[in-house]
A and B are shown apart, each in its own frame.
Chain A
Amino acid sequence: MHCKELESVLEAEGLEQLSKDARLHLATCGACQGFVADLNSIVSAAKSLPAEVNPPDRIWISLRAQLEAEGLIKEAVEVSQEPSWWESFSAWLKPRTFATAAGAALVLAAAVYVTRLPHNRPEGVAKNQPAVENSHPAQPQVTGSVPPPAMRPANAAPSQAQAAAKTKELAPSPSESASFALSQAELDVPNMQLAGNSQVDASLRQNLRTLNAFIAECELHLKQNPQDELAREYLNTAYQQKADLLAAMMESGRGEN
């Protein structure tokens, strides 16, 4: 093998695993020995060079800004695992029979309430409202339309006659009957696993405790001020919200159990 041939072999195959003829030539040619030795030195030195060079931080900042400007990336948004009031309401109304029965119960309760309104309502009630309003506890927010209250547990939708009988039998006012019905529905809640996520479970129960505390305050206030229309309105709203919440909790419990 000649020097030119060795170079052709090196070009085609590289420095590793030289053929027998190439090794024989190298053993006898000092120039080619030096050439190959130099190439090996270069390869060894190259391995010590950093394979990756970290660019300065400003490059990443500039890149991020450009990506955001083009809409290719967006800021991460925390997704709340707790269902919104509207989602709870929508889930609660999915069983159509229950929605129908609840609507009928609401109409019936409203009719009974109107017929049993006291005749000697004081004229000064409106003047008292600002003061009463200030003494009222903060009302929980109600989003979306106001749903009808749940008079019974979700898996036992009452008929109109049953709802009327229950209302007539239990209490003189729709508020008290609603409270009783909700309390009955609440009896099963402590033993239920409401959601696969313990945080959601705890959150739902906390919401229920908050609502119960508010309802208790309103009921106490109404006992002392039975003519307070605003307090009554707050209480009815709270019952509706509790009905919402219980429906959502029972729906979750049915899904998990």
Chain B
Amino acid sequence: MVGNPADAEDLMQEAFLQLFRKIGTFRGESAFSTWLHRMTVNVVLMRLRKKSLPTDSLEETPEPDAENSGHKRDVGAPDLRLSGAVDRVNLERSIEKLPPGYRTVFVLHDVQGYEHNEIADIMGCSVGNSKSQLHKARTRLRELLQEEMRQQAREERKAAKTPTGSLD
């Protein structure tokens, strides 16, 4: 959710501290892991708000920004295929570029295997919102991976030029 390991480690420690401080308030109405996840998300969101970083409420649909609008999926238009295989490193790099809300839902569902009702419980949103955000996260990842492929293709073409820079 925070996009860098240093902040993630700090927040992990803070989340566990909160866990020990508030363990007495756990009523067993949900699974312990769900309760811990919810607490962790809250800790992260509080930190992001303090830093005035976008927290992307899952109840809101993010406004298309300049980065997104150029790669908006044109329905029916030909797209650059990911060729059936996605590079793991590129995928991780692309996940880091996702907005926090998208990133959280994608990681919880597609990486960690949580169901939408569990994600809704953790994130404090509806099941429908969880599904919607997941689809948008996947769509955005596709765009980022396609951009990565285009960038690599450009670099390969550049590397194929002669040392003098002229094309024969």
- Chain A residue numbers with a CB within 8 Å of B73 are 7, 35
What is the size category of the interface that chain B forms with chain A? 35 or more
Q: Which of B17, B75, B84, B110 contacts A63 (CB 8 A)?
A: B17
From residue B131, how far is it (CB to closest CB) to chain A in Å? 6
Q: Is the CB of B79 within 8 A of A59?
A: no
Given known pairs A12-B128, A59-B12, the reply for A31 and B141 (CB within 8 Å) is no
Q: Is the CB of A39 within 8 A of B84?
A: no
Given known pairs A39-B138, A67-B17, A67-B20, the reply for A29 and B82 (CB within 8 Å) is no
From residue B94, how far is it (CB to closest CB) to chain A in Å? 9
Given known pairs A48-B88, A49-B111, the reply for A66 and B75 (CB within 8 Å) is no
In the bound assembly, the distance between CA atoms of A29 and B69 in angstroms comes to 24
What is the size category of the interface that chain A forms with chain B? 35 or more
Say yes or no: is A14 at the interface (Cβ < 8 Å to chain B). Answer: yes
Say yes or no: is A233 at the interface (Cβ < 8 Å to chain B). Answer: no
Q: Is the CB of A4 within 8 A of B111?
A: no
Q: Which of A37, A47, A56, A72 contacts B110 (CB 8 A)?
A: A47
Q: Is the CB of B85 within 8 A of A41?
A: yes
Residues of B115-145 whose CB lies within 8 A of A: 128, 131-132, 134-136, 138-139, 141-142, 145
Say yes or no: is B91 at the interface (Cβ < 8 Å to chain A). Answer: yes
Say yes or no: is A55 at the interface (Cβ < 8 Å to chain B). Answer: yes
Q: Is the CB of B79 within 8 A of A31?
A: yes
- Chain B residue numbers with a CB within 8 Å of A7 are 73, 75
In the bound assembly, the distance between CA atoms of A106 and B86 in angstroms comes to 92
Say yes or no: is A165 at the interface (Cβ < 8 Å to chain B). Answer: no
Q: Which of B77, B86, B112 contacts A41 (CB 8 A)?
A: B86
Say yes or no: is B78 at the interface (Cβ < 8 Å to chain A). Answer: yes
- Chain A residue numbers with a CB within 8 Å of B86 are 41-42, 44-45
Say yes or no: is A176 at the interface (Cβ < 8 Å to chain B). Answer: no
User: Looking at chain B's contact residues, is the secondary structure mostly helix, strand, loop, or mixed?
Assistant: helix
Q: Is the CB of B106 within 8 A of A4?
A: no
Say yes or no: is B92 at the interface (Cβ < 8 Å to chain A). Answer: yes
Q: Is the CB of B135 within 8 A of A11?
A: yes
**A-contact bits for B40-62, CB 8 A (1 contact / 0 none):** 00000000000000000000000
* Chain B residue with the shortest CB-CB distance to A2: B75
**B-contact bits for A27-47, CB 8 A (1 contact / 0 none):** 001111011011101111111
Say yes or no: is A220 at the interface (Cβ < 8 Å to chain B). Answer: no
User: Looking at chain A's contact residues, is the secondary structure mostly helix, strand, loop, or mixed?
Assistant: helix
Q: Which of B17, B84, B110, B131 contacts A46 (CB 8 A)?
A: B110
- Chain B residue numbers with a CB within 8 Å of A67 are 17, 20
Say yes or no: is A51 at the interface (Cβ < 8 Å to chain B). Answer: yes
Q: Is the CB of B141 within 8 A of A42?
A: yes
Say yes or no: is B3 at the interface (Cβ < 8 Å to chain A). Answer: no
- Chain B residue numbers with a CB within 8 Å of A37 are 81-82, 84
Q: Which of A11, A47, A59, A66 contacts B111 (CB 8 A)?
A: A47
Q: Which of B12, B13, B92, B136 contacts A11 (CB 8 A)?
A: B136
In the bound assembly, the distance between CA atoms of A34 and B80 in angstroms comes to 9
In the bound assembly, the distance between CA atoms of A67 and B21 in angstroms comes to 9
Say yes or no: is B76 at the interface (Cβ < 8 Å to chain A). Answer: yes
Q: Which of B16, B76, B82, B134 contacts A38 (CB 8 A)?
A: B82
Say yes or no: is A73 at the interface (Cβ < 8 Å to chain B). Answer: yes
- Chain A residue numbers with a CB within 8 Å of B132 are 11-12
Known pairs A11-B136, A46-B106; list 11 more (Cβ under 8 Å): A29-B76, A34-B81, A35-B73, A35-B79, A38-B145, A41-B85, A42-B141, A45-B86, A49-B91, A51-B112, A59-B9
A-B contact list, 24 entries, CB within 8 Å: A11-B132, A11-B135, A13-B131, A31-B78, A35-B73, A35-B79, A35-B142, A37-B84, A39-B142, A42-B82, A42-B86, A44-B86, A46-B110, A49-B91, A49-B92, A49-B111, A52-B112, A55-B9, A56-B9, A62-B13, A63-B13, A70-B17, A70-B21, A73-B20
